[in-house]
Structure formats: structure tokens, C-alpha cells
Structure 1
């Protein structure tokens, strides 16, 4: 399946031209609706028939503008601003560039150049975590939205949390974090060039230098201490380095009444309910409690939702379904042997047999859980020494020597 990225205007144009091809709309009326001439509409129809929807995408997309300043000019402007006007806003810096250096550039273009060069930024949120994974970003994004509201878009690199770097025909190609942001009407813009990625990493480079030294001076050695230190450091950093935006309007949006932030920031997968009201997830058998809601779900799909705090919910539409879990790779432990005095011999034998088998793994596509709270999917315990490979089938019969075979025949007689 081919996915075509189109703007709102292109989608509207495509819908109008489809109505023309279905003879629901005259060419003259379509030209009026689109603000084009009849000849232009005719050319678009030819492109639609020959190339499909891709033919309506602007040919200029992805190409540099014909009015774009040369790289040498842009570099000269950024060098002058960095040396003389690093603490200036773009409007005042543009005036001084014109007066003192005879360089004419609009303040809006200069603002974009300053943003790309890292001269126009502000820290909005900082958080220390054990690893860069989906649950860590969900926790950070939840805290950010609760503090500032929903952004229109976030600008990121091409980390696997934001972008499916191994896209295939299976699924929609969207990550779990991306699907959560889409449900909240937040767009992800991934840096698509070394220069743009540098804009994302430039602030990180500053923090890796200044922040690490500041934490060392404060004697900080744990993640909890670092997260307690970050708000005060961020305020001092912004007081020194942040620049007021050219447009002072705050485009963050409050959560809509239908937005459920906690319910959307989850790792979500779908499973099919069996006739016995069970489903399989990550080497565990989940047994739904037979209720009025769950009984009709046999053969239907439900959502398995894992929260960053370790909770797991089974949902169908707006209902949360009660369930029990049977872990198919759970090991017999010593506590179980002590608590069940009458079964201690059988449990001890089961534990000994489990220790001889290689540990079973969870699913390869399960989420990284280093930033997740207590959860129900502990990793298998490593074995001491080399694991014993389990042999399939019935064990071979022992071989007998001729004397042993003759002795066994005499005994049978």
C-alpha cells in the first residue's frame, strides 16, 4: 500500500476532481471552487488519470526555493550575528545588519536562521531517565502537557521512539508514541537533514557540557537527585541563554474535554479473544472474567494497554475488562515450596526440572521496561553455568551387551 502525503489544499483539490470524474460536478464549477481556470483544471484531470493522487502533489515539495539565500550568504549572516548580536532579537539584529554591514535580510528570515543555528531557543522540559525508550518519553510528554498544554507539533530526530525506521507492509508504520500523539492531535516532525538534526542536538551538546559540571559541583549521583535539581537549573539556563520569540503568542492548546491524557499515553496492542474468553500476550495467558460486557467479545479484537507505571488494562471501546493472568513461563520458586508443605516434593522436582531447561524469552517486540514501574512480565532468571539443551521426542533405549541381553532373556523365562 502506497501512502501519499498531501496538504489540506491538495486533499480538497483531489476530492473536487474526483467529483468531476464521477460526473457529479462540471469542469466550470470545479474551476470556480478551486480558483483556477478551466484549462488548469483540465491539466490537473490529465495528471490525475495518468499518475493517480501522486500527480496532484506539488512538484516543488522537497526542493529548495528559487529565492533561497546561498549557503555562503547564510553562513556570513550567522557568523556576524554570533559575533556581534547574539543577545539581539531578529528585528533589531536585522536593522543593525543593514546599517553596519550593508546586508539586507528580513527579520522573519533572520529569525529562522537564528533558530537553525541554535541562537533562538528555550528549554521547556528536562528529565533524567535510565534509558531512552517509549515509556520514558510517554512520562516526559505527559508532564510537559500538564505543565504547558498540547503543542501543535514536536521536532525530533529519527529515533525509533518517534519514527518506524524498519517500516514494512505490516501495520500502519506508526510507533506507539506516535500513535499516542496522533490521538491527541500532535504532529511529529523528524529532522530530515544533518543541519536540521544539528538543531535538535545543539542544545543537548550545551547541556552535556554545562549540566554535567553543575551536577558534579552539587554532588548529584542519582537520577532522583538529578530530577530534583533540574527545574532550578533550567530556570537559570533560560535566564541566561533563552531569547524571547518573535511572535509572543503561545500556541499550546489546553486538553480538549474528550482528551484522556493518561489513557492515550500507553503501549497499545490488539489481540483476538478466543471462545474461552482468553487471549495471549507476551507469553502470558490472560483470562477475561465472564461478564455481560466480555461474553459477547469471543472472536473480536480488544486492546491490551500497558501503562508507564506498569499497570496493564484490557479495553474494548470505553470498557475496561476485568481479567486474571497465567504466566506461561513463570518459574517455581523456593517460597512456593515452603508455603505448600504437602506439595513440597512435587514442587521441588518441578523446580529442579525447570533449572535444567534453557530460559524461555518474552516476545522480541515487547517494550523496553527500564523506565517502567513494577510490572507483571519479569525477565527469566539467568542460569548458572552452560544451559542444557532440551532434546525433543522420546529418549533412546539403552544398548545392552550380549551378556546382559542373555541374562535378561533367562530372567524372563
Structure 2
């Protein structure tokens, strides 16, 4: 018996023996007099067993069966659901296994089985929350995150955009590295599905903001000096979208929070769907975005959307591309990255005038085209004729010229009479001849101090 039951047994025994009054017994047990009388009658009739609750030792009617608990635990420990957090596992049970269970019951069941959620909980840090925008489409937060999405050691960059007012994901695209094409595909998904937003909230990556922007002084700004647009900022200007660069990751906290959610859920979803490549992942993400928004999106403060519908005359292929300016010559040929291309004119397209400024559009979707005053032209590689090199005549072999001995700069034995001294030493005569009558090529004579 429990301590409470032992206390009731002692009080009831004293009440029956006359040691306590009914009022004293009711006060001691903290029960009403009527309840004490009922307990007293039962104690006299049935004995101490009246103090034990009738449901003691009986399994509750709403309790899970042992088979059901074993099924839940085995599914959680399987390879498919092992890395899913408890909340995600609850959703997967309903979607994949048709098993409905509340989160609190699931949490208690798994915790009792000594199973912990793989999602780590960071210590709460108080911070000031920024209010959401009132209308959908007023502000879109955009970013990319590298992660091992396929359960391997290799990381891939997931590009994404989320609406600030509703928390609705408007685009997701996976590439090998963070790149311009990944962000353009996110813009394409958003433009076709929802429309063109008012502004984008991004970091200060070189894709969005030129690296020279931070080095522009106030004096340069007052003098009217401008920084060239990046290809992404140029495209957003054509669409009428304002780019707001953030100073810290916390400033665009909604998209940072989105990465935490997707890094916990997407690897499990990829494994269940058998996704193991970038192309398969991008096809899967198109179908997964509505499920994600159905689970996490909220209603905006104002029902009217700020997204602008994409105009019919706007071709995203001519906006979301690398666009560079070149000049064509009289034959419609221009140079591009050390190669020559010729603009192809057709009967329906006029011939470009000489020195016309054209825009060269390059993208994986549209390929390589030329735009002139809104008209698109095809361009083909062109090889300019190479001039035949003229072979120079064979050079004559030059022989070094040696002046003859009769040259006025030279002295020869035949031109100068022999020097003779009847009474002089022959050694002195030989020395004088070697000095004055020898050729320049011969080594000079070294005089000795003994002479």
C-alpha cells in the first residue's frame, strides 16, 4: 500500500474504534464527511481492499499496444528515419506509413525508449525580433548554403528564397557551388509561380554587390563616381527589383532559419525518395516546396499581394543571362573572348549597320545569341582569312673582311726596309722588328726589366 492508503487505513481504524469523531477524520483525510462515511462502510464490509483504486494494475483503455510501440521504435531506428527529428518523424509516419500519433505521445514514447532527437538544441539567446512585412512580395530574403545533402562527404550549394511576410519558400535550386546560375533559377521559379517582388534582401556576396563598392569613399560618391553593376544586379534593375545588402546573417534571419530546417529534413526526404544526384534533387524540390509551405507558411498581415505579374513582353531568358556589349564591323563580325562570331541576317531581320553596338547574351537556357534594339540574332563562329606569309629571300652568307697587308693601317715587312745596325746586338734588332713590323693579331711582346 502507498503512504496515502496507509494513512487512510489508520484514520478509518481509529474512527471505527471511536478514537476519532467523524469531523476529525474528515479533516485529517481532507475529505467530506459523506465521503468518509462511504469509506467507513466499505472498510467494514470489504476490509482494507476498499482503499485500493479499482483501476490499479489495469492497463488504460487509451494506452498504446505493445505491438504498436514496437512498430514505432523499429521504424525510428531504421535507416530511412534514423536521422529524422521527432517532429519530422511524426509527419513522415502520417505521410509514408499512414500512422497518426500526436507529437507529445510520440515524444514520450521515444524518450522512454532512450531514443534522442538528432536535432541539436542551442541555448536560447534573447534578441529583438523584426516585424514581418505586411504584404507578400514586399521583401524576399535570398541566400545559399553548402551542405552534404546526399549523406556523403561531398557538399552541394542549395540556393533559396523565402518571403518575409509569410515565410513561404518561393524557390529552391541545387548546384555544385554557390553561383550566379543557381540564383537565376530561383528568380525564374519565383517569377513564373508568384511574380516579381519589390525588393531582395541578400548578403554582400560578389554575385550581388561589386567588390569595389566597399572601397568607394564619400568624396567619390559626392563626385558622382559609380560602381559597375554585377550581372545579377543588372538583371534585377531590368526587372525593377531593389537589392538590399545585409550587414550580418542575423539581419536575414528567416532564410538562415530555413537552412536549419532543410538541413534537418531534406537528407531524410532525399533518402526516402531515392534522390542521389543534382538533377534528381532539383526535380524533387519543385514538388517538395508546396509541402514545405503547407507546413510552415503563415498568413500575411495584408491580404493584397505585392508581387507584380510578369509582363508578356518580358522574356526571362534575355534578362537572366550574362549580357556584354560588343561592336560589329562592316561584315557583321565581332570579337568575344578571343574568338570571332558573325551575326546571321535573314530576310525577316535587317542587316546590322557597321560599328553597331550589340548585346551578347550567354546562358545555359538561351545559349549564345545577339540582341540589337530588342531583336534577337543568331551568331555563328567565324574564322577570318589568314594572310599568306611571304618568305623572305635567303640571306647571303657574310664573310668577315680582312684588310690586306698593303692597307695604310697595317705595316708589312715588304714595305719597310730592314733595320740593320752593323755594330748592334742581334737580339735588339729582333726585338725592334717584333714590335714595329708584326701584325696586330699576333700577341704583343712583353718587355723584361733586364733589358
State the TM-score, normalized to the length of structure 1.
Answer: 0.46
Name the structure where helix makes up a greater proportion of residues. Answer: 1
Higher relative contact order (CA 8 A, sep 6+): 1
